[in-house]
Structure formats: C-alpha cells, structure tokens
Amino acid sequence: MKHCLKILFATMLVTFSLQGYSAVNIVECEDEQGERSFQKNCPPGSTQVGSKRISTGGSSKEGNNPVIQATLYAIPECGECDEVREFLQAKNVSITEKNADESIEIQNELTEISGDLKVPTVVIGEEVIIGYKRSEIEAILLKAGDE
C-alpha cells in the first residue's frame, strides 16, 4: 500500500508540474479503514491527517510581481472557486475577489457583467469566464501577458 501511495504522490507531483504551477497544496487523507492517500482535498468519509505545499519549480516570466489583474466573483465553501483562485495565484495574477454571497450589489454587478449569477466568474480585461475553465483562463492570461 505504501508503494502505491508513493506512486500516486509522484504522479500528482509530475502532473501539477506539467500544468505550470509553481507550487501545489497536497493533503494526506485517512479513510475509516486507516488507508491513507494524497489528494487535493479529502473526500467525504475521510479525515485530513497532514498537508504540504510542494514547489514544482515553475516561475513566472516577471518574477514575483503580478502583472495581470483579474476579478474573481466567488462564494465561501466553493471548491471550483478555490481552484480558480489557486490557479490564478500560481500564475502570479493579482486578484480582486468579490464575495457574491455578501451583497445584492455584487450579485447585480455579477449578473450585469456575465449575464448570469454563477460562480466562479473571472474577469480579465474585457474577457469573462464563467466556471473553472482552465484552458480558457490560461489562453486569456497568455494573451494578456503578450500585450
């Protein structure tokens, strides 16, 4: 079993490295039978017993200074919102986050910008992306970085 966990952990590390992340958070989870696994988030019925932030060696072309601005419309306890936030942070994007759960004004703003009341919604320049569409976000970031 430990050998399988090491292989899973190594596979996750390589996968995240290839995706351009500069660091990832990995949690160690234990299920009711005492079996442990490494995951992004612990699944229902398991307990987090540890966590690590692992550098994958990636870096942005501008160093540590964010050069691209984004607005993220999100709500608390939203897994997709967390993934978008982590992806943008890994890409060194400066994020202005707006909690769509807090006020009717932000909800109205989100509806006006996107035509819908869905989160996560990311605004980068004139581009609006609803949901966690990693390839679309990455394409827009690449385009914005070239300008």
Count CB atoms within 10 A of the CB of residue 93.
Answer: 22
The pLDDT tens digits for 61-97 are 444 455 799 999 999 999 999 999 999 999 999 999 9
- CB distance 57 to 98 below 8 Å: no
Share of the chain above pLDDT 70, in %: 71
Q: Which two tokens stand for residue 106?
A: 């932000």
Q: Which backbone phi and psi does 75 adopt, to 5 degrees?
A: -135, 160
Q: Mention every residue, 6+ apart, whose C-beta is less than 8 A from residue 146.
A: none
For residue 23, what pLDDT band results from cuts at 50, 70 and 90? low
The pLDDT tens digits for 91-124 are 999 999 999 998 899 999 999 999 999 999 999 9
Helix 79-90 with 134-146: angle, nearest 10 deg:
30
Angle (CA) 37 42 44, round 5° = 115
Query: Which domains does the chain carry?
Result: 2-55 (no CATH), 68-146 (3.40.30.10)
Sheet holding 46-55, edge to edge: 36-39, 23-31, 46-55
Distance CA 101, CA 112 (A): 16
